[in-house]
Structure 1
């Protein structure tokens, strides 16, 4: 069985993004269902897979990272509204038995992601 993990790296400060709220939604047509919500730990990772083996299935998903709240909590001065507040990543899971890892590299003015290992 597969599973989904994620982590956040703060590229502006050069450190893990700790205490970032991460939400995972399953997408189907216009339906968007919240599956899980977690905070990243001091290493910028969730303590367990955000989509564990027993809930893992092929389909379309969305990860939402509350990075604006993270930067505000760290005392970073952001414009109002912030240039980047919530980062939403839509992705597909096509291989039922695989480990999917979706990291987020973020600063107040940019972000990137990729399928990690």
Structure 2
């Protein structure tokens, strides 16, 4: 009987943990790293927009944390498949660092084909270049 209760308690703990992780999971996250310093780029303003027939529709805005991340970037609304972009305000970031930058903004367009998946957009940047890819 004791083994049954231990097994039941373990199953409940695992289920609660999985539920908590699912609740914390957001459709979209971003991460910005400064390639010149090798450190996270904190305080970078980022906007999220959805492509519409008439142009881009604003969905959300946030600022990277001390680790250069925005972990929960999708707004509190249902997700839809389609084309989106995140726009990193890098000119302001480098200005705060007392540095010039060739790119005042870096728009990264991407396509959401499955709203049940997680999408992660990392940005590796320097004053005169950048790289991005679909992360996990």
Higher RCO by CA contacts (8 Å cutoff, separation 6 or greater): 1
Retained in 2: the 8 A contact 1:24–1:61?
yes
Who is 1:105 aligned against? Answer: 124
Aligned-pair RMSD on alpha carbons? 1.7
Who is 1:6 aligned against? Answer: 30
- TM-score, normalized by length of structure 2? 0.76
- TM-score, normalized by length of structure 1? 0.88
Task: Considering fraction of residues, name the structure with more strand.
Answer: 1
Retained in 2: the 8 A contact 1:4–1:50?
yes
Q: Tell whether 2:109 aligns with 1:85.
A: no
Task: Considering fraction of residues, name the structure with more helix.
Answer: 2
Retained in 1: the 8 A contact 2:89–2:105?
yes
Who is 1:34 aligned against? Answer: 58
Who is 1:58 aligned against? Answer: 81
Structure 1 segments of 4+ aligned residues over 4 angstroms from their partners: none
CA distance in 2, matches of 1:52, 1:100: 14
Retained in 2: the 8 A contact 1:18–1:41?
yes
Structure 1 gaps, min length 5: none
